[in-house]
Amino acid sequence: MAGPEKFDLPQGTLDLLILKVVALGPLHGYAIAQRIQQVSRDVVQIPQGSLYPALHRLENRSLLTAEWGDTETGREAKFYSLTRKGRAQLETETADWERLTEVVGLILRLSEGGTK
């Protein structure tokens, strides 16, 4: 499959992405994977074998709740939505991520400046 190079997600980021995507409204597993793939312009593809264990783990930690419902096409699917605890978790993790990338970026720029 020709396309952008596949990209391995750093440890723990998958959970963050799932939480973020689900924050916009209840979604089923397939839609979550699609949404992440679309938004990342096909850079991030999540295999079944990672997506569902992550969803179930988040559900067990009460960050997500799940409910069976019908899709637009009338099929039964399991829809995940964010809990209050999940929303709080999303906020802290987003803040952490932003701080981390900022700091890492700072350091990388600084070291380039240093070698010049």
Partner 1 sequence: MNWLQRILHRQQLEQQLDRELRFHREEYVAELTRRGLSEPAARRRALLELGGSEQAKEACRDARGTRWLEDFVHDFRYALRTLRQRPGFAAVALLTLALGIGATTVMFTVVNGVLLKPLPFHNPSELFVIHGRSNNWNVAAFGEQNLAGPDFHDLQDESRSLEIGGFLNNNATLSAPGIPEYVDLREISSRLFPVLGIAPLQGRAFLADDDRPGAAPVAILTYSFWQRRFGGSASALGSTMTLDGKAYTIVAIAPASFRLYQIEPDVLIPLGQDTGAFLQNRHAHPIHVVARVRRGHTLPQAQQEISALADGLAAQFPDTNKGRTFTFAALRPDAGDVTSTIWLLLGAVGMVLLIACANVASLLLARAVSRERELAMRVALGAGRGRLVRQCLTESAVLALAGGALGVLLAAVGLRPFLVLWPGTLPRAEEAQLDWRVLLFSLGVSLVSGFFFGFAPAIRAPFRNLEQVLRPGSRSIVGSSLRLHTGFVVSEIALAIVLLSAAGMLGRAVLRLSSLDPGVNTQNVLVSRMALSPAALENPDLARAAWKDILDRTRHVPGVASVAVVDTVPMRDGNNQLNYWPSADMPEQSKMPLALATSVTPDYFQVMGIPLRGGRLFNDHDRIDTEPVVVIDEELARHAFPGQDPIGKRLWGPDLGREPLHIVGVVGHVRHWGLASDDQATVRDQFYYPFAQVPDSLVRRWSELMSIAVRTNVEPLSLVGTLRGELRGASGDQVLYEVHSLEKLASASLAQQRFLLILFGVFAVLALFLAAIGIYGVLAYLTSQRIPEMGIRLALGARIADVRWLVLRQSLSMVSFGAVFGLAAAWAAARVLVRLVDGMRSVQPSTFVVVIPVLVAAALLAAWLPAYRASRVDPVIALRHE
Applying CB under 8 A, the residues found at the interface with partner 1 are 28-30, 33, 47-50, 52-54, 56-57, 60, 68, 73, 75-78
Q: Considering the complex, what minimum distance in angstroms separates the CB of residue 89 from partner 1?
A: 17
- 33 Cβ contact list (under 8 Å, min separation 6): 45, 46, 51
12 versus 53: smaller Cβ distance to partner 1 = 53
Closest CA to 100 of 11, 40, 24: 11
53 versus 105: smaller Cβ distance to partner 1 = 53
Side chain identity at 93, as an amino acid letter? E
Tokens representing residue 106 in the block = 């700072």
29 versus 86: smaller Cβ distance to partner 1 = 29
- 45 Cβ contact list (under 8 Å, min separation 6): 6, 33, 37
Q: Considering the complex, what minimum distance in angstroms separates the CB of residue 111 from partner 1?
A: 38
Q: Considering the complex, what minimum distance in angstroms separates the CB of residue 21 from partner 1?
A: 15
